[in-house]
Amino acid sequence: MIGQVGLATTTGLTQAQARDLLGRHGPNELALHRPPGLATVVARQLRDAVVVVLLVAAAITAAMRDWPDTAVIALVVLLNTTLGAVQEIRSQRAIAALAELTAPHATVIRGGSTAEIPAAEVVAGDLLELRAGDIVPADARLVPGAALSLDESMLTGESIPRLARDEEPISAGTVAVRGHARAVVTATGRNTTLGSIAGSLDSQAAVPTPLQRQLAGLGRWLAIAAALAALLVAVLNLVTGHGWETSLLLALSLAVAAIPESLPAVVTLSLALSARQMAARGVLARNLAAVEALGSVTVLACDKTGTLTEGRMTVTELWTPTAADAARLALLQAAVLCNDACQNPDGRTTSTDDPVEVALVESARGAGIDVPALRLSAPRTAETPFDAEVAMMSTTHLLGDGSTVRYLKGSPEALLSAHPPAQAGSGVLTEVKRLAGEGRRLLAVSREIAERTELLGLVALADPVRPQAAEMIAGFRRAGVRPVMITGDHPLTATAVARQVGIVTEDGDLTVLPADLERHAGDIHDRTAVYARTKPHQKTAIVSGLRERRAIVAMTGDGVNDAPALRAADLGVAMGRGTEVAKQAADVVLTNDDLGAMVHGIAEGRRVADNIGRFLRYGLSGGFAEVLVMLIGPATGTGIPLQAGQILWVNLLTHGLPGVAMGTENAGPDVLSRGPRPVRQPLVTRAMLGQILLLASIITGVCLTAAGFADGSPQSAIFLSLIVAQLALALALRPVPVRRLAANPALTTSVVLNLGLALAALYWHPLQILLRTQPPSLVTFLIAAAGGIAVAAAARALRPQGRSPLRQRHRDEA
């Protein structure tokens, strides 16, 4: 392929060649599965356990020639299947849109120009530009003379990076951890080494998320309870002289009614809508479960540079051992030579250049240094790329007289400790303390000639604190989320910034250095506000330590070295400017690098949790009420309280559109002024169960009272009362005042529509025949209306109160 294209390893493919290859060979993607078609989605809905029960009931009624009930069941199946299919397709589209936004990118050389493109558009023959932090987008071969250190653990399991040199092949999915190089793509998509592995994994099922496991566990308990209730109803009907066919049909119908089958649709719709809302604010959830997890976060562990600060470095001060201009010039020249920024022939900055190194180049240019000419006069002959573990880098250069010089650049502590210069003394340490105390980022620069190391000086850089950083941190605190800074910067620098933004608020907050982690292990959760000079493995240890203390940790990061900590956190949050490694390791990506947008994500996560809890109160209260009516009704002399078709019609009107509309409910006014929901808390708590049983008892009492005073059919009275009470409950459970019904038009519309369908069932002759109903009396209407008001009043009184962040924090720590 490469030979056919005639690629030059300096200019790459032309855009026309790339388009032609992409059209012929397809995108560089591993997952080429198309979304399931309509027939597949419908078939999946028909395999649902509730629908299977309904189909069995339909078969029984058809065998009994009970055509009205058969028609009702068929209608319920049709509407449930349609609603479920529509919701699944909408959710798939929402998820696909989010996946498109978080797709990885690659840097290629095309027509001699550098371009960043979606990784899916990489083709065989492309010339890749790879730097530390990039994920290799396709199988490739290094160009002659190139060297790159690669993490191949995802393919080989070997944790130690491998140094690839001189035309060696490299594989898609591996990670560049040191150095930079160019490589020519040899295979893409399913033809890569990673693609062949992915092909063998297609049949493996995905691991369920915690929310999915909770829903599955709740579903099992509900199924058992519904089965026992249905069995009891069947036995009671048989004992009272009804036939087995009628008893079985009633039991099956009640089992369907007792289970809130709209719950999966409510959960999926709530998560998908929240994910879309978050995406509009620059918060991309890479999976829907991350949306719900946001609402449970108790600790935010964030970096300093680019997160709390603007990530726009400028040189503010130079310190040299002597005050001579020549010394300052030598310092800047060394900082430019031991530097990987602006390496293009035209000397322009690229999106992959480190902001600190760009600042050094700009400072040198401001001092009159011709950077390209300087680099040509002292060509680099060797390098040791920057390593976060040793916090320094070095380069070796050939001088005009044939001699060589080695420049070293890194943190003052690391450089002065590993390569102590001959003239270093207390003066440099005093300057380090002074500049770091002012919140500056510091670099030390040394020169090594003939094994003699000379300190050229210190460079102080400032990264301005974001104007909104203090308010952002205050917002997290108001939401009951405790902010913690984890940074590689000097302790004094980190503390100065932390005080400016409000992370350090009192003298008791500790600044812990890595060496002190053992001594301060007990303070990790409750007192430590800043961790300084941390290395990658220490970030992971800190996150794990917080989690061991029952904190739910969100960790932000943007570099390769942040990936392990992002994985270790309950919720990894990558910055949009970050490396592909960080983005792929994270659960959430902040596309605009605005951490403050996460506050809105937290609100959305809590909104989802609130909506799920609200629907469970609603659906289970109604379902339990129907069970109680069917169990108690015969003892009050009402006979069979409801026919099978009537039960299903009540279930359709109450658990259908209104239930799904509850998933679109807006957040309550206190969503960001109370503590987070503990992630280990069950979906149905004991307190919630008590409220559900009380509401179910009130609904049951209203229905049986209406049946007792009915002038006509007791069944019609119960039928109307059940629908009115449950729809009133749906409105009452909203988190806003009742007068603001229009705030959720979907719910209001569905309630009005279903009240109309309930009246149609009572007054429209075809439905009267189908459902065996009769027009109710005025007394029945008054009792049903009064019962709806009573249920709504009880629900408003029983609304869960917000938890204060302080109380919640103490509960979590306990």
d(CA 719, CA 699): 12
Q: What is the tens place of the pLDDT at every residue in 763-781?
A: 999 888 888 888 988 888 9
* Per-residue model confidence as pLDDT tens digits over 181-194: 899 999 998 888 87
Backbone angles phi, psi at 271, to 5 degrees: -65, -45
Q: What single-letter DSSP state applies at residue 135?
A: B
Q: Which amino acid is at 240?
A: T
Q: Which residue has the higher pLDDT, 669 or 727?
A: 727
CATH topology classification for 314-462: Calcium-transporting ATPase, cytoplasmic domain N (3.40.1110)
Where along the chain do its domains lie? 1-197, 262-278+601-809, 283-309+465-593, 314-462
Region class of 685: left (phi > 0), else alpha (psi between -120 and 50), else beta: beta
The two three-digit tokens of residue 652, written as one number: 């359709």
What tokens appear for 238 in the block? 């048989």
By CB atoms closer than 10 A (0-12, 13-18, 19+), residue 138 is buried
Instruction: Give the pLDDT confidence score for residue 810 in this predicted structure.
Output: 36
Whether the predicted pLDDT of 7 surpasses 90: no
pLDDT of residue 67: 66
Taken in order 739, 743, 747, 752, the sign of the CA dihedral is positive
> What is the rounded distance in angstroms from the CA atom of residue 609 to the CA atom of residue 548?
24
Contact indicator for 800, 613 with CB cutoff of 8 Å: yes
Q: Helices 244-258 and 210-239 meet at what angle, rounded to 10?
A: 150
CA 259/CA 267 separation, integer angstroms:
15
Note whether 813 and 752 are within 8 A (CB): no
Sign of the C-alpha dihedral computed for residues 136, 141, 147 and 151 taken in this order: positive
Residue 550 token pair = 């029952």
Residue ranges in 240-370 assigned as alpha helix (H): 244-258, 263-280, 289-294, 325-337, 355-366
Q: How far apart are CA 295 and CA 41, in angstroms?
A: 30
pLDDT at 807: 39
Q: Which residue has the tokens 């679109």?
A: 664
For 124-138, 213-227, 529-543, which range has the lowest pLDDT when averaged over its residues? Answer: 213-227
Mean pLDDT along residues 362-371: 92
| Farthest CA pair distance, the chain | 113
Q: In this structure, which long-range contacts are made by residues 502-505, counting pairs with CB atoms below 8 Å and at least 24 apart in sequence?
A: 502/470, 502/473, 502/474, 502/477, 503/308, 503/473, 503/529, 503/530, 504/529, 504/530, 505/529
What CA–CA distance (Å, rounded) separates 712 from 381? 99
Question: Cβ atoms within 10 A of the Cβ of 32, count?
Answer: 12
**pTM score over 0.85:** no
Asked if the model's pLDDT at residue 110 lies above 60, the reply is yes
* Of the candidate ranges 137-151, 358-372, 499-513, 722-736, the one whose mean pLDDT is the lowest: 499-513
Is residue 428 predicted with pLDDT exceeding 60?
yes
**What does the pLDDT look like over 493-524, one tens digit per residue?**
888 889 889 998 776 567 777 767 666 665 66
pLDDT at 347: 63
**Cβ atoms 595, 472 nearer than 8 A:** yes
CB-CB contact of 557 with 574 (8 Å):
yes
Runs of H (alpha helix) within 764-804: 765-771, 778-797
Of 574, 569, 606, nearest in space to 589 by CA: 574
Cβ atoms within 10 Å of 813's Cβ, excluding its own: 12
- 239 vs 237: CA distance, rounded Å: 5
CB-CB contact of 188 with 125 (8 Å): no
DSSP 8-state class, residue 126: -
User: Which residues are CB-neighbours of 152 under 8 A, at least 6 positions away?
Assistant: 158, 161, 162, 171, 174
**Amino acid letter, residue 554:** A
Among candidate residues 251, 320, 291, the one with its CA nearest the CA of residue 640 = 251
Q: What is the pLDDT of residues 471-494, one digit of tens each?
A: 999 999 999 999 999 888 878 888
Which two tokens mark 589? 């990506």
Instruction: Return the CATH number of 262-278+601-809, one of 3.40.50.280, 2.60.40.10, 1.20.1110.10, 3.40.50.300.
Output: 1.20.1110.10
Q: In the beta sheet, which residues pair with residue 489?
A: none
SS3 annotation, 498-516:
HHHHCCCCCCCCEEECHHH
Which residues touch 731 (CB under 8 Å, ≥6 apart)? 738, 741, 747, 748, 751, 792
Mean pLDDT taken over the chain? 80
Q: Is the pLDDT of residue 746 over 50?
A: yes
Asked if 550 contacts 559 with a C-beta cutoff of 8 angstroms, the reply is no
pLDDT at 232 over 70: yes
Residue 157 structure tokens: 């399991």
Share of the chain above pLDDT 90, in %: 23
Cα–Cα distance for residue pair 565/537, rounded to 1 Å: 8
Tell me the C-alpha distance between 166 and 813, whole Å. 54
Distance CA 579, CA 106 (A): 10
Calpha distance 356→340 (Å, rounded): 10
User: Could you give the 3-state DSSP secondary structure of residue 754?
Assistant: helix
Is 387 labeled as catalytic in the residue annotation? Answer: no
- Give the pLDDT mean for 429-447: 87
User: Angle at CA 604, nearest 5°, toward 540 and 694?
Assistant: 110
Q: What is 1-197's CATH number?
A: 2.70.150.10
What the block records as the tokens of 640 is: 């069979």
Amino acid 57 reads A
- Of 32 and 29, the structure prediction assigns the larger pLDDT to 29
Phi, psi for 287 (deg, rounded to 5): -150, 150
* Segment 236-271, tens digit of pLDDT: 777 777 677 767 766 766 776 666 666 666 777 777
Query: What is the predicted pLDDT for the residue at 804?
Result: 41
Read off the pLDDT band of 596 (50, 70, 90): confident
CA distance 532 to 637: 75
157 pLDDT above the threshold of 60: no
Q: Report residue 140's pLDDT band, with 50, 70 and 90 as the boundaries.
A: very high
Lowest-confidence range among 16-30, 34-48, 80-94?
80-94
What is the tens place of the pLDDT at every residue in 303-323?
887 788 887 788 999 999 888
**Would the pLDDT of 69 be above 70?**
no
Top-tier CATH class for 283-309+465-593 = alpha beta
pLDDT in tens, 657-705: 787 788 888 887 888 888 787 767 788 888 899 999 999 999 999 999 9
Catalytic residue among 69, 303, 353, 610: 303
Sign, CA dihedral 670-674-679-683, equals negative
